[in-house]
Structure 1
Amino acid sequence: MAYDRYVAICDPLHYGTVVNKETCIQMAAITWISGLLYATLHTGATFAVPFCSNPINQFLCVIPQLLKLSCSDLYLIEVVAISFSACFGLGCFSFIVVSYVEIFKTVLRIPSAQGRDKVFSTCIPHLTVVSLFLFTGVFANLKPTSNSRADLDSAVAMAYCVLPPLMNPIIYSMRNKEIKAVL
């Protein structure tokens, strides 16, 4: 989505040739394959670990909480999982940030304030929703399991599950003039 907006704003005359059916299929395939690889890594690591019969005080099985249930020392698996997750998330986030930096550089060169407002009203909601999702995901998944409290883990997992979907319609509806008038 960031690449689509980047091309639409920074190179609008070439949009039809750059963002064509083949490009969309490639982007979807890369997303699906990387998601499948990521899920396979975590699923494989989960089934390779012996578990004890410890109580689960969670409503969601996030990786750090699942690793707490293990009977063995999982330092290496935890480091690999967190490192892979961090690299994967940082790569996606970096791509989005670079795209939006280029978009904002282009937008700031637009002479009319109305044109800038239109582009910002399109891009800011997407950037807000993606950032909210990524940052809550980072706090839920990329922390060491050994020194975290169960109640804090539950609150973070709840924020990760509830906050982005709850805020998504609110953030995107802020572009609607009727909603702005009601607020």
Structure 2
Amino acid sequence: HLSPPPPPPSPPHACNPTIEMLRPMACTLAFSLLAQGGLGFRLPARALARPAVLHATSGVAVRHIMSAGSSLPAHLSKMLEDVKAGDAQLFDVREQGEYEGGSIALSALVPLSELKEGKEPASADKAKLVYVHCQAGKRAQMAKPLLEGMGFERVVALEEGFPALRDAGLPLK
């Protein structure tokens, strides 16, 4: 009769208490460097909005690390500049209850459900660039062709949803 194979050997550092103690700090430092572009590249906003990837025992608040000197990704900085300058509009296609629970400053509530019914956004300029966001990105993608069908000439559906935009540091209402 054959006995089961022995378990694989543990890595040499697994029992070293010093290594185990330093692991969370190393993970935190690495994440912070990546998030702030310290290694020559930046993490996308979607990755920054998911702090759970950090070692669970780090004891450091990822949102605090992110707000301590990081800047918006280039495409979000451009969007914010365009909207503040009046050269673009930001449509939030979530439903009213979601919008009232928190929203991006300068955004206009344009629920996807109303777009599906053919209701055009009130006081919107069809010639201006339109940025669209929702909770997770899916409804923004659905709203894009509806808005284009209503005559909006330039529509950009943001990949980031509200939580990612909020966590990236966009100003809130």
Higher strand share: 2
TM-score normalised according to structure 2 size: 0.31
Q: Which has the higher helix share?
A: 1
Normalised TM-score (structure 1): 0.30
* Greater RCO (Cα-Cα under 8 Å, separation 6 or more): 1
